[in-house]
Amino acid sequence: MQVGIMGGTFDPVHQGHLLAAELAREAGGFDEVWFMPSYAPPHKQPGPVATPGQRLEMVRLAIADHPSFRTTDIEIRMGGTSYTYDTVEMLQGRYPSVRFTYIIGGDMVMYLPKWYRINELVERIGFMGLARPGAPVHLELLPASIRSRVTLVPMLQMELSSTEIRRRRHEGLTVRYMVPEAVRMYMEVNRLYEG
């Protein structure tokens, strides 16, 4: 089985995440895409606003009707800072017959050389970079060992971010159609991101 891993804070998950996962699933021929909320990502400061449990539940609600999307709480259960190498090692130990590909934004591709234990990581998994229109990714600038493990996939332009959704919620503005309706209702009931 081939699985694409979609990691992130998902604070909150939104339509852009879902579209990216669907395009990646199609382009990579993945049997499934697993959404993996991080406990505490190493590259984002300050940390998430919603609790790990709330972020996981919003992802579950968002993907409930997709037959090939799943959630995994592996990084939340691990706690602490989430390093991809440690997560991949654990996933491969639990699911030895699964071939994993890590899905990342095109903007993250050029940062791969700085990732924790990247040389060992690229021996274990491949990466799929979602390249946005007007934001070129220069694979030729990456070391050959990393470059050979990255596949670029064109991404549709969608100017939507979790930061913008939190800002709109804080200001009392609508986020309808920016997030799945079940996620919007969850934020309402739990008063997430309100000012």
> According to the model, what pLDDT value does residue 169 have?
96
Cα–chain center distance at 105: 8
pLDDT confidence of residue 45: 58
Residues with Cβ within 8 Å of 3's Cβ and at least 6 positions away in sequence, in order, are 30, 31, 32, 33, 34, 95, 98, 99, 100, 101
User: Please, what is the average pLDDT of the chain?
Assistant: 93
In tens, the pLDDT along 64-83 reads: 999 999 999 999 998 888 78
Say if residues 127 and 112 touch (Cβ distance below 8 Å): yes
pLDDT at 167 over 60: yes
Q: Using DSSP bridges, classify how beta strands 2-8 and 32-37 pair: parallel, antiparallel or unpaired.
A: parallel
What tens digit of pLDDT does each residue of 92-132 get?
999 999 999 999 998 899 999 999 999 999 999 999 999 98
Q: Where are the beta strands (DSSP E) in 64-188?
A: 69-71, 99-105, 126-131, 150-154
Distance CA 26, CA 133 (A): 18
Q: Looking at this protein, which amino acid is placed at residue 164?
A: E
* Cβ–Cβ < 8 Å for 161, 185: no
Q: How confident is the model at residue 194 (pLDDT cuts 50, 70, 90)?
A: very high
